Amino acid sequence: MKIAVLPGDGIGPEIVAEAVKVLKALDLRFEMESAPVGGAAYDVAGHPLPESTLKLALGADAVLFGAVGDWKYDTLDRPLRPEQAILGLRKHLGLFANFRPAICYPQLTHASSLKPELVAGLDILIVRELTGDIYFGQPRGRRTAVDGHFPGAEEAFDTMRYSKPEIERIAHVAFQAARQRAGGRGGKLTSVDKANVLETFQFWKDIVTEVHAQYPDVKLDHLYVDNAAMQLVKAPKAFDVIVTGNMFGDILSDEAAMLTGSIGMLPSASLNAKNQGLYEPSHGSAPDIAGKGVANPLATILSAAMMLRYSLNQAEAAARIERAVDTVLSQGLRTGDIWREGDTRVGTVAMGDAVLAAL
Ligand X SMILES: CC(C)[C@H](C(=O)O)[C@@H](O)C(=O)O
Mark the binding-site residues for Mg(2+), compressed into ranges: 226, 250, 254
Q: Which of 26, 30, 32, 83 binds ligand X (CB under 6 A)?
A: 83
For the chain, first and last CA: distance in Å?
22
Question: Using the rule CB under 6 A, is 37 a contact of ligand X?
Answer: no
Q: What is the b/e burial string over 105-121, where b = at least 16 CB atoms within 10 angstroms of the residue's CB?
A: bebbbebbebeeebbee
Active site residue 194: yes
Annotated binding site: which residue ranges? 90, 100, 128, 226, 250, 254, 284-296
* Torsion 28-31-33-38 (CA) sign: negative
Nearer of residues 155 and 250 to ligand X, judged by Cβ: 250
* Residue 234 one-letter amino acid: K
341 binds a copy of itself (CB under 8 A): no
H or E element: which one contains 168? helix 164-181
- 315: partner contacted, choices a copy of itself, ligand X, none (Cβ within 5-8 A by kind): none
Name the packing angle between helices 348-358 and 12-25 (round to 10°): 20
* 205 membership: H or E segment, kind and range: helix 199-212
Cβ distance to ligand X smaller for residue 29 or 149: 149
Catalytic, 226? Answer: yes
Q: HSE (CB half, 13 Å, CA atoms) of 106?
A: 6
Tell me if 30 contacts a copy of itself by CB under 8 A: no
* CB of 85 or CB of 328, closer to ligand X: 85
Contacts (CB under 8 A) with a copy of itself, residues 248-267: 248, 250-255, 257-259, 261, 263
Distance (Å, rounded) from C-alpha 206 to C-alpha 73?
41
Determine the size of the site formed for ligand X (CB under 6 A).
Answer: 7
Q: Give the residue at shortest CB distance from ligand X.
A: 83
Q: Under the rule (CB under 6 A), what is the footprint of ligand X?
A: 83, 86-87, 196-197, 226, 250
Residues known to be catalytic: 135, 194, 226, 250, 254
